Structure 1
Amino acid sequence: MLKRTRKLQNLQNGFLMSTTARWRIYIQITFIRIQIIIPRKYLVEKKTNIAKDIVDVTYPDFTKNYTTESYLRERAILTPTNAIVDEVNFHVLNLIPGITHSYLSQDSIDTETGNDDNDYESSFPIEYLNSINMPSIPKHYLKLKVEAIVILMRNLNQIMGLCNGTRMVLTKCLKNSVECQLLTGSHAGTKVLIPRIEMEPTDTHFPFVFNRIQFPLQICFTMTIKKSQGQSLQTVGLFLPRPAFSHGQLYVVISRVTSPDGLHILIEGDNGETCNFTANVVFDEVFYNLPVSV
């Protein structure tokens, strides 16, 4: 056990390394309990509004370039939680001129799979169903704008490139469908119509089966670190108003960016000011089976 602990300490005193096809970025780590210090060249300093600051460095001259596909394709802001994602996306959406289109979902309970002795409809009114907000389904009140980046939340047609996690640009907002243009993949540039579909979250604590009919879309100028897996971006803004909370999330962020010059990190400390350190969550269990030299 002592040898394994020494092995872990040696790894922690080394470097956090992310390898891509053509380059390697090394960030030297100084461990302060579970915290790491980020080099100044990657840090973004808070100037006015912290959400505005990370948007300005990740999407420079946004109002001049928001209609350019290559500009939108190559950049994104990453952050740990959906609450922060919503805050930053709302800020960027307001920068786009034009009409905001609002789409309400149709929510219901599948009573056939429930207990017939319970009156679910009276126990869980429609107002409560509308208030349900889960990462796996779109919101009840969905706000969209033409030229906004959206991400697909379900597999619709894998042959056409319409897979969960596909990024698109909204080109038309219609009454019963929206038109989007694919940003990435072999079908980039293709325009498709996205309909409302019925979605059912699988992992819930509800005593009933919840159904929501809505466009399977989410605004995606900012996305969660988990959702970014599989993406390849030239410019990444990492926004950490609170530390990453899951194993390996910092590694995931760094491995998304294709050039070290494209990495920008904004960390907000407990005092509300920017700082240069954050937690790096690593489960100790991953080191248990490491070979130890005698």
Structure 2
Amino acid sequence: MARRSTIEKFNEMLQDIMDSKLLFGGKLVVLGGDFRQTLPVILKSTKDDIIDSSIVMSPLWNQLTKIKLEINMRALFDSNFSSWLLKIGNGTEATNKENEITIPARINIPFTDDITSLNVLIDMVFPNITDSNLDISLFVKRAILTTRNEFVHEINDVLINKFPGEETIYYSCDENTSSCIIPDQEDLFHYFTPQGLPPHKLTLKINSPIILLRNINPTEGLCNGTRLLCKGFNKNVIYAEISVGTHAGKPVFIPRITLESPHNDFSSVPFKRKQFPVRLCYAMTINKAQGQTLDFVDVYLKEPVFSHGQLYVALSRAKTIDQIKVLIRPSTALAQNTNCTKNVVYREILDAAHIY
């Protein structure tokens, strides 16, 4: 979801271009969003900071015409599932005193230990992944969703090792842009994978699924979040095929480009990385999965969801409840009941932001 400041600047730009004080310079602008989903991400912020950055707190909000969509088209053929998702999104699903909701037993994978349970999860979403005659269509609309990038990297590393075929490895070229690191210490950057950047070591195989991290050519379907299948490798180009959307099946070439680490990233100092702007997407973060429709979803909660709307987004990627499995790694708080998970209540956000 875009921050209010982005939309306000867009309004000012159109007013300047059209030389008009009308809203958006008198142009018709359609904004789409779901406040049940994750709100703007602000590092090291408080709940009040996140709410204040939302469009509902902007002076533009009262000037907009609100149109509500009432039918969940993704879950159109499973009304009970659709109703359950709305309860989670609206914060009306029953919770205990710890603000945890119970995941139905039919979609809950019992936890035994980290390795065994993860392998069970992998076998459910990607059956027979080691088979050389594997049906590649399984990878087009299946994924494991989890909360943090570090968990995503762990799962992707496990899956690319299981995936049949000869691996191709691409190493990035990292360049210092800060006076904090002297030139002969630039190898330190290889250990960093800031948000939005590809890894230093990118391991790929023919037919492995990848996801774009940058807008390259949106008109041709190459935009941030596009999922592709690898079809060939060259030194500075990856030959791939778009796997979803209106451009599905279209062959494309992904170049190696220079990317900069986010200026607000607190996990590393600023640097440049020359690498292909892609990552493996057997697994994705819940936030990255927003807008995706999947045929089968495994939700791996190594820790409880930590942001508003994450649980709702994760569960609502599927079309029916039978297309979801959830693995919850118990912590001290969850030790007595391993099919409970946190629910960041939407109702609290509504009250605070005065959306309606």
TM-score after normalising by structure 1 = 0.82
Moved over 4 A (4+): 64-67, 205-209, 271-274
Q: Encode CA deviations 1:245-292: one digit per residue, 9 max, x unaligned.
A: 11010110122111221011111102698811011123634323377x
1:171 matched to 2:231? The reply is: yes
Cα distance between partner residues in 2 of 1:204 and 1:244: 21
Which amino acid counterpart does residue 118 of structure 2 have in structure 1? A
User: 1:280 pairs with 321, 336, 343, which one?
Assistant: 343
| Structure with more of its chain in strand, by fraction | 1
Asked whether the equivalents of residues 69 and 183 of structure 1 are also in contact (C-alpha less than 8 Å), the reply is no
**Which runs of 5 or more residues in structure 2 are unaligned?**
1-70, 85-92
Residue 303 (structure 2) pairs with residue 242 (structure 1):
yes
Distance 1:267 1:127 in 2: 36
Q: Give the match for residue 240 of structure 2.
A: 180
Question: Could you tell me how far apart the structure 1 residues matched to 2:269 and 2:203 are?
Answer: 28
Equivalenced residues, count: 267
What is the root-mean-square deviation in Å for CA atoms of aligned residues?
2.6
What is the deviation of 1:120? 4.8
Q: Does 1:32 align with 2:85?
A: no
Partner SS state of residue 226, structure 1: coil
Within the alignment, does 1:216 sit opposite 2:281 as a pair? no
Unpaired stretches in structure 1, ≥5 consecutive residues: 1-17, 112-118
Question: What TM-score, normalized by structure 2, do the two folds share?
Answer: 0.69
Distance in 1 of aligned mates of 2:286 and 2:177 = 32
Pair 128,176 (structure 1): closer, same or farther in 2 beyond 3 Å: same
Match of 1:99 in 2: 166
C-alpha distance in 2 between matches for 1:40 and 1:83:
28
TM-aligned CA distance change 1:237 to 1:281, over 3 Å: same
- Mapped to 2, the partners of 1:223 and 1:39 lie a distance apart of 23
Distance 1:65 1:30 in 2: 45
Identify if the C-alpha distance between structure 1 residues 58 and 66 changes in structure 2 by more than 3 Å, giving closer, same or farther: farther
Give the superposition deviation at 1:207.
9.6
Q: Distance in 2 between matches of 1:206 and 1:64?
A: 39
Q: 1:139 to 1:236 in 2, by over 3 A?
A: same
Seq. identity, %: 33
Matching residue's letter, 1:149: P
* 8 Å CA contact 1:65, 1:71 repeated in 2: no
* Aligned equivalents of 1:96, 1:264: Cα separation in 2: 21
SS at match of 1:40: coil
